[in-house]
């Protein structure tokens, strides 16, 4: 049988010789003109070109098409037959399709088969469509739409068109023979020039990719470094000011800076995916645990807008995914739901075992503005929103849902939306289910323990060295850590090494880009060479957050990694665990 979902296309060499693109264009023209489904089968019984499907083979509401089972069987039978004197073969299928097979020789090669399938109006074929559409797995709505869209040709006209097309195949063969002869006379010099051009283009593409990666890495660093100061000092102002008006101003600065960080993170994620720098670690991931980490921040944002967030997440549901990428995908969907919801709220649920499949379906619903059907595809395109230009209603870069689609492809997941304008939207994600012992992955419960610092009691106070070339970020880190340790600061690697050789520190906060002179990696390696610093924590703090940056730093002397911008809670928690557990031990 000719299974159009799985048959391989013809080889590259065969396609080049026979000018596959030209034949594909001719095939599309005939399909559109005759309103017929057209396939071209190579001598090896492979699809030579992409099939041109017409309704009802083209499944309504989708872009996919496939021969019906009965037509597939009919064609398989015809392929084993021989045509009479080069004339077309004709056969009627039970579903109402008339099928013609035309043998043709392209470029003096073995015979190719041209398959033409068309609905005709004879023998009550109009009544058969609904019956056979249902047999081939169409839903009720798809069956009705297929019947409405189907076009029935006059039977005699179909026979005549196929006969004319049969006569034209000899002309195609002559044209292809001429073009092939010209191609075969191409000189070795021309081939060499072509190869040189390809090598040059390859090198230019690799250099362009390298420059793009370098630009994005530098952009990330140059934006994250000042953003650390903006977010950090606005946080401190909000916590320490008593005047509510000033506290609100500080909060506004903090939220605005966070919006910039969201855009930057989306651009970085998009770049990593498009340059194939995203590494996958597929494993069993608990859906509820993944959501819990995301919802902590989402609850706060939703509360500020007066929205509710409701969840129905059974703890035993697990999926096969990369936990980091799944978190990014769900984050963008939650962020999108909150952004486009003014009243009401968001509901999140997960279930499995429905629709005759073991896949897990995650549903994120909102009571927001909704999306018109004609825009369901547009919203998943990069930098696109339903409202655009000067009349744009909502904030955002238009990257969130684009990233959702790209990540879903990496995870072998399916994403779709159901929405009614002014009523809200339902976004669905279908993921492979994970078979887990006892059906539950134990959640990683974060222990919340009071910070019992030595500074608040008796004993020596830990000493920390902050190595940071940016004065604002040096001061910010010192303000964050002043409650739990003594602070020394160094603005470059030379000063840092002088201080380290003169004094034993309990931990080092190490910026990586230190401007002129040695960078943070070189200083970390020099510190490790000092005998009594072999086990001292060196915390890399950096604006370099591209794929592989964390691993590179942890394998070159640093013991921990903190991405800029960081907040007070993150730094206090890390240093408290390092300094005081270490002291207690």
**CA dist 185 to 17, 181, 190, 351, Å?**
13, 6, 10, 63
Residue 498: which pLDDT band, with cuts at 50, 70 and 90? Answer: very high
The share of the chain scoring above pLDDT 70, in percent, equals 79
- Give me the half-sphere count of Cα atoms (radius 13 Å) on the Cβ side of residue 181: 8
Residues 359 and 267 in one domain: no
Residue 36: which pLDDT band, with cuts at 50, 70 and 90? Answer: confident
What confidence score (pLDDT) does residue 336 get? Answer: 86
What confidence score (pLDDT) does residue 363 get? Answer: 93
Residues 162 and 306 in one domain: no
What confidence score (pLDDT) does residue 86 get? Answer: 64
**CA dist 468 to 169, 399, 525, 577, Å?**
75, 33, 16, 22
Give the domain-ending residue among 439, 466, 485.
Answer: 439
Give the three-state DSSP class for 572: helix
Say if residue 184 is exposed, middle or buried (CB neighbours under 10 Å; 0-12, 13-18, 19+).
exposed
Residue 268: which pLDDT band, with cuts at 50, 70 and 90? Answer: confident
Query: 427-473 pLDDT, tens per residue?
Result: 999 998 886 544 444 444 444 444 444 444 445 789 999 999 989 98
What confidence score (pLDDT) does residue 446 get? Answer: 46
**Does residue 491 carry a pLDDT above 50?**
yes
What confidence score (pLDDT) does residue 579 get? Answer: 86
Residue with tokens 């379906």: 361
**CA dist 94 to 99, 138, 157, 352, 434, Å?**
11, 17, 20, 38, 42
Q: Rounded to the nearest 5 degrees, what angle is found at the Cα of 30, between the Cα atoms of 25 and 31?
A: 95
Higher pLDDT, 84 or 523: 523
In a domain, 1, yes or no: no
Where are the strands (E) in 261-368, listed by range? 283-286, 308-312, 318-321, 345-352, 360-366
Count of structural domains, the chain? 4
What confidence score (pLDDT) does residue 488 get? Answer: 94
Q: Average of pLDDT values for 43-59? A: 83
In a domain, 7, yes or no: no
What confidence score (pLDDT) does residue 364 get? Answer: 92
Question: Which of 26-40, 176-190, 289-303, 506-520 shows the lowest per-residue confidence on average (mean pLDDT)?
Answer: 176-190
In a domain, 409, yes or no: yes
Give the domain-ending residue among 245, 274, 303.
Answer: 274
Residues 475 and 350 in one domain: no
* Torsion of the alpha carbons at 41, 46, 48 and 50, rounded to the nearest 10: 100
424-431 vs 463-467, strand pairing mode? unpaired
Q: Average of pLDDT values for 250-260? A: 83
In a domain, 533, yes or no: yes
What confidence score (pLDDT) does residue 216 get? Answer: 67
Query: 321-356 pLDDT, tens per residue?
Result: 988 889 889 998 998 899 889 899 999 999 887 656
Give the three-state DSSP class for 187: coil
- Eight-state DSSP code of residue 120: B
Residues 56 and 145 in one domain: yes
Residues 177 and 213 in one domain: no
What confidence score (pLDDT) does residue 340 get? Answer: 86
Helix (H) or strand (E) run with residue 401 in it: helix 400-410
Residues 35 and 146 in one domain: yes
Residues 311 and 367 in one domain: yes
- Give me the half-sphere count of Cα atoms (radius 13 Å) on the Cβ side of residue 88: 23
In a domain, 191, yes or no: no
What confidence score (pLDDT) does residue 509 get? Answer: 94
What confidence score (pLDDT) does residue 390 get? Answer: 38
Question: Which of 104-118, 237-251, 411-425, 537-551 shows the lowest per-residue confidence on average (mean pLDDT)?
Answer: 104-118
The C-alpha atoms of residue 468 and residue 545 are separated, in whole angstroms, by 17
Residues 485 and 559 in one domain: yes
Longest CA–CA separation in the chain, Å: 105
Query: 353-379 pLDDT, tens per residue?
Result: 765 667 899 999 999 888 887 777 777
Question: Which of 16-25, 158-167, 484-493 shows the lowest per-residue confidence on average (mean pLDDT)?
Answer: 16-25
Question: Which of 253-262, 328-337, 411-420 shows the lowest per-residue confidence on average (mean pLDDT)?
Answer: 253-262
Enclosing domain of residue 302: 283-439
Find all residues with CB under 8 Å of 184, minimum gap 6, and list them.
Answer: none
The domain that holds 70 is classified in CATH as 3.30.450
Q: Average of pLDDT values for 487-504? A: 92
Helix (H) or strand (E) run with residue 560 in it: strand 560-563
Residues 48 and 127 in one domain: yes
In a domain, 505, yes or no: yes
Query: 82-137 pLDDT, tens per residue?
Result: 655 567 888 988 888 889 998 877 655 667 888 999 888 777 777 788 888 888 88
Find all residues with CB under 8 Å of 353, minimum gap 6, and list them.
Answer: none
Give the domain-ending residue among 406, 439, 472.
Answer: 439
The domain that holds 344 is classified in CATH as 3.30.565.10
What confidence score (pLDDT) does residue 436 get? Answer: 55
Residues 294 and 401 in one domain: yes
DSSP string, 11-77: PHHHHHHTTHHHHHHHHHHHHHHHT-EEEEE-TTSSBSS--B--TTTB-TTSS-B---HHHHHHHHH
- Eight-state DSSP code of residue 318: E
Mean pLDDT of the chain: 79
Helix (H) or strand (E) run with residue 117 in it: strand 111-119
**CA dist 164 to 159, 161, 519, Å?**
9, 5, 75
The C-alpha atoms of residue 252 and residue 242 are separated, in whole angstroms, by 16
In a domain, 446, yes or no: no
Peptide bond into 142 cis (omega under 30): no
In a domain, 193, yes or no: no
Q: Pick the closest to residue 175 from 235, 106, 241, 230 (CA basis).
A: 106
Contact 88, 104 (CB under 8 A): no
Q: Pick the closest to residue 39 from 60, 24, 17, 19 (CA basis).
A: 24
The domain that holds 547 is classified in CATH as 3.40.50.2300
Residues 483 and 419 in one domain: no
CA 311, distance to chain mean position in Å, is 25
Residues 392 and 489 in one domain: no
């Amino acid at each position: 049988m000719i299974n159009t979902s799985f048959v391989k296309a013809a080889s590259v060499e065969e396609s080049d010789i026979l000018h596959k693109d030209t034949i594909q264009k001719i095939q599309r023209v005939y399909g559109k003109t005759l309103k017929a489904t057209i396939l071209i089968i190579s001598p090896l019984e492979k699809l030579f070109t992409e099939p041109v499907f017409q309704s009802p083979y083209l499944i309504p509401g989708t872009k996919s098409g496939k021969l019906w089972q009965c037509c597939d069987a009919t064609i398989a039978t015809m392929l084993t037959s021989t045509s009479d004197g080069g004339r077309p073969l004709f056969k009627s299928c039970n579903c109402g399709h008339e099928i013609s097979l035309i043998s043709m020789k392209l470029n003096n090669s073995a015979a190719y088969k041209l398959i033409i399938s068309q609905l005709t109006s004879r023998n009550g074929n109009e009544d058969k469509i609904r019956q056979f559409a249902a047999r081939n797995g169409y839903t009720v709505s798809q069956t009705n739409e297929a019947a409405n869209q189907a076009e029935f040709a006059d039977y005699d006209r179909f026979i005549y068109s196929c006969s004319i097309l049969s006569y034209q195949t000899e002309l195609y063969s002559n044209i292809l023979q001429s073009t092939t002869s010209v191609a075969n006379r191409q000189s070795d010099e021309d081939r060499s020039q072509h190869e040189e051009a390809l090598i040059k283009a390859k090198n230019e593409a690799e250099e362009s990719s390298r420059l793009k990666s370098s630009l994005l890495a530098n952009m990330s660093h140059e934006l994250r470094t000042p953003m650390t100061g903006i977010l950090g000092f606005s946080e401190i102002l909000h916590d320490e000011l008593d005047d509510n008006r000033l506290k609100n101003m500080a909060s506004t600065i903090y939220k605005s800076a966070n919006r910039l960080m969201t855009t930057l993170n989306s651009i970085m994620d998009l770049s990593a995916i498009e340059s194939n720098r995203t590494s996958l670690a597929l494993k069993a991931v608990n859906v509820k645990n993944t959501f819990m980490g995301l919802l902590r921040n989402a609850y706060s944002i939703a509360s500020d807008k007066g929205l509710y967030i409701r969840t129905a997440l059974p703890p035993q549901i697990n999926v096969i995914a990369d936990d980091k990428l799944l978190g990014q995908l769900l984050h963008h969907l939650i962020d999108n739901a909150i952004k486009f919801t003014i009243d009401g709220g968001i509901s999140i649920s997960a279930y499995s075992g429905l629709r005759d499949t073991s896949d897990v379906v995650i549903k994120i619903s909102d009571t927001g503005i909704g999306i018109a059907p004609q825009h369901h595809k547009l919203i998943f395109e990069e930098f696109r929103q339903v409202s655009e230009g000067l009349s744009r209603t909502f904030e955002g870069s238009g990257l969130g849902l684009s990233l959702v689609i790209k990540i879903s492809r990496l995870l072998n997941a399916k994403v779709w939306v159901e929405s009614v304008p002014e009523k809200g939207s339902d976004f669905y994600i279908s993921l492979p289910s994970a078979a887990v012992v006892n059906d539950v992955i134990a959640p990683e419960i974060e222990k919340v323990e009071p910070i019992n610092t030595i500074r608040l009691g008796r004993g020596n106070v830990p000493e920390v060295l902050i190595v940071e070339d940016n004065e604002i970020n040096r001061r910010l880190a010192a303000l964050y850590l002043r409650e739990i340790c003594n602070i020394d600061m160094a603005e470059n690697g030379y000063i840092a090494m002088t201080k380290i050789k003169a004094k034993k520190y309990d931990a080092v906060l190490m910026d990586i880009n230190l401007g002129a002179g040695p960078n943070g990696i070189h200083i970390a390696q020099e510190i490790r060479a000092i005998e009594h610093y072999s086990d001292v924590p060196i915390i890399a703090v950096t604006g370099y957050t591209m794929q592989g940056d964390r691993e590179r730093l942890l394998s070159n002397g640093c013991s921990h990694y903190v991405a800029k911008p960081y907040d007070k809670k993150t730094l206090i928690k890390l240093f408290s665990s390092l300094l005081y557990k270490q002291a207690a031990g």
